[in-house]
Amino acid sequence: MRSVKVAKSKQHLLIFLNPTAGSGRAGLFYPYLKRILSIRNIAHTTIRTGKKGDINSYISSFASELDKRFTGIVAMGGDGTTWETLSSLVKFNVVKTPVSIFPFGSGNDLARSLHIPLYNPRGALETVLNGEKDTLDICSVNGHYFANYIAFGFEGEILMHRELEQSTLPGYTSYVKPFIKAVESLKYNLYHLRFQDREVDVIGMTCIISNIPSHYGGVKLVQEANSNDGIFEITIIKKVPSIRTFLKAPFLHGKALDSSEYVRYRTDRVTISFDDDVPALQVDGEAFQTFENKFEIGIRKGILPIIRRRN
């Protein structure tokens, strides 16, 4: 990690920059960002990240100082940069300073949900500097935090195969081969769900727990997930969607699945358990290895201040 500092001013941003995000687009735009911040007399400290865990290490080292030193925190990179920033801030209780998302990833689902301009760095920068302050719910699974969604089963298999492949292909192209492998090895699981007032058992190919309405770069599989209502949405897809479902173009609306293809619940707490093999799990777009067969999932309402685009 390398730190770059400029003179202090009334505003002071902490920027976590992954310069390789977006096939290098984040790093290319950074010099322009520096010029704009200088022109507007906004001080900044930039932490260039080179590997997973850099952001967590920095926040853990300076957690007691961050809310006092900075007026804003910026996650400038892909989905991994965003996830590590948000989860680390909550983990180390740095929850007073507003966080901005500067999206350069392939999915950018949280940025979409906050209406931050995509593939428009100047528009995203304007949101960072002049956006509207809101709050963001953060969910947890067995003590690990997530802001977007987690998925058991098929979705987790894709991420697991992608990680094993260690593909250097850009963006969505890196998911093609892992997707095919996940289809070839498709299997169903029995999900035991225990809510506060009832228990249900569902057989399905994947189970998605959502805090936001956008998935996989804009696909709208959920209907009512909202990032600041204190509730998450559980969608279990019971079978392979039909050709008719695919023809509905699920990225256009939130009713992509036929009612016979899924079950859905809304809650603020659930326990999901498995009798035998635990299906593959992904957390906010990252493959997650676990040897547990019981998962406690909860939510902390409005725990983080977040910047969204003004209406």
Tell me if 232 sits within 8 A of 302, measured CB to CB: no
CATH topology identical between 2-130 and 146-300: no
Instruction: Classify 162 as helix, strand or coil.
Output: helix
Q: Which residues of the chain have pLDDT under 70?
A: 1-9, 166-172, 174-175, 216-223, 241-258
Distance, CA of 156 to CA of 182 (rounded, Å): 9
What was the pLDDT predicted at 233? Answer: 94
Q: Which amino acid is at 139?
A: C
CB burial of residue 246 (10 Å; 0-12, 13-18, 19+): exposed
The strand ranges marked E within 19-89 are: 43-48, 72-77
Q: Where are the domains of the chain?
A: 2-130, 146-300
One-letter identity of residue 41: N
Which of 2.60.200.40, 1.10.2020.10, 2.60.40.10, 3.40.50.300 is the CATH number of 146-300?
2.60.200.40
Amino acid at 278: V
Token pair for residue 255? 């009713």
CATH number of 2-130: 3.40.50.10330
pTM of the model: 0.85
Distance CA 63, CA 69 (A): 10
CA-to-CA distance for 179 and 311, rounded, in angstroms? 37
In degrees and rounded to multiples of 5, residue 295 shows phi and psi of: -130, 120
Going by C-alpha positions, the residue among 268, 241, 222, 249 that lies closest to residue 112 is 222
DSSP state of 38: H
Residues in the chain: 311
As beta bridge partners, residue 87 has none
Question: 125 exposed, middle or buried (CB, 10 Å; 0-12, 13-18, 19+)?
Answer: buried
Contacts of 298 (CB under 8 A, 6+ apart): 139, 140, 268, 269
214 φ/ψ angles, rounded to the nearest 5 degrees: -100, 140
- pLDDT per position as a tens digit, 242-300: 545 444 554 444 455 667 788 999 999 999 999 988 998 988 877 787 778 999 999 99
